[in-house]
Amino acid sequence: MVPFLNVIHDLYLKQLLSVFSWKQWMSSKGHRDVASRQTATQESGIMRSAARAGCPSPTFIMMVFTAARLYTPLEEIGDPLLFVQDGAITKVSSRAQSETPQGASLLDFGDAILAPGFVDIHMHGGTGVDVMQASPADLARLGKWLTNNGVTGYFPTTVAAPIDQTCAALERIADVIEATRDSTATNGKTPRARPLGIHLEGPFLSHKRRGVHPPEYLAQPTLEVFECLWQAARGHVGMMTIAPELPGALEVIAEAARRNVCVSIGHSDADLASAQAGVKAGAHHATHTFNAMRPLDHRDPGIVGEVLTDNQLSADIIADGIHVSSAVVQLFLHAKGFDRSVLITDATAAAGMPDGRYQLGPMEVEVKAGRCTIDGKLAGSVLTMDRAVRNVAILGGWSLRNAVRAATLNPAHAVGLSPQQGVLSIGSEANIVVLSPTGEVRKTIVRGLTS
Ligand SMILES: [Zn+2]
């Protein structure tokens, strides 16, 4: 199987040996709309250089994936056929409804499940790499490691730090987002999870609910500080955690929402009215529900009361069995349901590493027996996304499909990345995780490249 796959990779990467043109196939199947849309987005480096050289348009080998089941994840398809060309999904069907086109390469994953690659919208690092210190080579290593856990896209997440360190980190991450955005060519032959946007966790956090974020680096929300961070990140801020009760927060929330940032309330001591004011200003998500939030009281429900009861709000949770008890994870899943529950890892550089000391922005985390702490306070996790999915299936009693949905479509939707990410549908990126029937990662495919 493996040598065969390598051959397929080579063919795919050279993009020279296609048996027929994707355009011909699409139009022969009546997919003219998709074909014309894809024509506009066929912008790989190879195509651009071919066009510059006056070459005829290159064609791309089609790959067809099959397994026992497929989660879109809104639907489950038995005996699926998933058609992929030039890194994008061109058709989702079943063996009963479609045939493999002549000349296409069929990869059969047996009793496995095909699902969208996981999208982690809150992670600080892994495999020894801290995203705020990371060089492009470090982020490439992190991206490769993330595919072991089924992750194909993620939001590198900052912590409160000196402004010059934060801005330098934002610039470096923005470089990698741009370098990996337009072309699989920069990925070489190795599938890697890509940074899709930046999550600013700080500096606009409550001193009272700061967790381990250093108090000296927290800031009052102002449009000036937000603009400074936005400029350093060259507009790649996709998400921002903010305490809505802080003076000036509502103005910053409104401006960030206007720029299509997913504004997420968290690290907050807000009462119910302040949390609701944040939502009214434009927040539509909540960060690691229960952690670093004023606790729920039956006469003073606070921010948690708003998060659990407002159906406009999606929310995320760290389902590692350490941050939140399993009974409270069940409460959360029940409240937010299948369409608004989001799984995050909040992973630090320690994820995937042995116990020891690891960097987290300007801080050092101590890891013992899977607990990350700074001065005894929880400081991120060593959770991986595949484990979070299995935990929700086990703790929450959810079907694997719905647990997968909380790690794919729901986060992608929360941060505005669907339908390109988090879903297996025509036109979306061919980011696929191949899962065992019990949710272990067997293989990860990023834009059609298999691990
Ligand atoms: Zn975090």
SS3 labels along 129-162: EECCCCCHHHHHHHHHHHHHCCEEEEEEEECCCC
Q: 314: which 2 tokens?
A: 């999606």
State the DSSP H helix or E strand holding residue 317, giving kind and residue range, or none if neither. strand 314-318
Res 38: pLDDT: 33
User: How many angstroms separate the CA atoms of 306 and 72, rounded?
Assistant: 30
- Rounded to the nearest angstrom, the gap between the alpha carbon of residue 440 and the centroid of all alpha carbons in its chain is 18
User: What are the distances in angstroms from CA 385 to CA 147, 350, 351, 364, 441?
Assistant: 10, 14, 11, 23, 10
Instruction: Report the C-alpha gap between 448 and 86 in whole angstroms.
Output: 7
Catalytic annotation on 182? no
The encoded tokens of residue 198 equal 């930046």
Peptide bond into 244 cis (omega under 30): no
Residue matched to tokens 């607990």:
371
Q: Give the whole-angstrom CA distance, residue 244 versus residue 232.
A: 23
How much distance in Å is there from the Cα of 299 to the middle of ligand 1? 29
**How far is Cα 344 from Cα 415, in angstroms, rounded to an integer?**
13
- Is residue 358 within 8 A of residue 130, CB to CB? The reply is yes
Say what the pTM is.
0.86
Please report where in the chains the tokens 């941050």 appear, as a residue.
Answer: 323
**CA-wise closest residue to 124 among 90, 83, 159:** 159
What residues form DSSP beta bridges with 322? Answer: none
Residues near 330 by beta carbon (within 8 Å), at least 6 away in sequence: 395, 396, 397
Q: How far apart, in whole angstroms, are the C-alpha atoms of residue 139 and residue 318?
A: 23
3-state secondary structure (DSSP) of residue 358: strand
**342 pairs with which residues across the strands?**
316
CA of 447 to the centre of ligand 1 (A): 27
> Which residues does 7 contact at the CB level (< 8 Å), separation at least 6?
none
Distance 8 CA to ligand 1 centre (A): 39
Q: Which two tokens stand for residue 399?
A: 């079907």
- Name the CA dihedral angle for 30, 36, 41, 46, rounded to a multiple of 10 degrees: 80
Cβ atoms of residues 20 and 103 within 8 Å: yes
3-state secondary structure of 249: helix
The residue type of 380 is: G
DSSP structure class, residue 74: S
263 C-alpha vs ligand 1 centroid, how far in Å? 15
Cα 122 to ligand 1 centre (Å)? 6
Bond prior to 419 in cis (omega within 30° of 0): yes
CA of 91 to the centre of ligand 1 (A): 37
Residue 446 alpha carbon to ligand 1 centre in Å: 25
Catalytic residue, chosen from 86, 138, 320, 346, is 346
What is the chain's pLDDT, residue by residue, as a tens digit (451 residues)?
Answer: 334 334 334 333 333 323 233 233 333 333 333 333 333 333 232 233 333 333 344 456 899 999 999 999 999 999 999 999 999 999 999 999 999 888 899 999 999 999 999 999 999 999 999 999 999 999 999 999 999 999 999 999 999 999 999 999 999 999 999 999 876 544 567 899 999 999 999 999 999 999 999 999 999 999 999 999 999 999 999 999 999 999 999 999 999 999 999 999 999 999 999 999 999 999 999 999 999 999 999 999 999 999 999 999 999 999 999 999 999 999 999 999 999 999 999 999 999 999 999 999 999 999 999 899 999 999 999 999 999 999 999 988 999 999 999 999 999 999 999 899 999 999 999 999 999 999 999 999 999 998 7
List Cβ neighbours of 291 (8 Å cut-off, separation of 6 or more): 211, 318, 323, 324, 378
Ligand 1 center to 375 CA (angstroms): 16
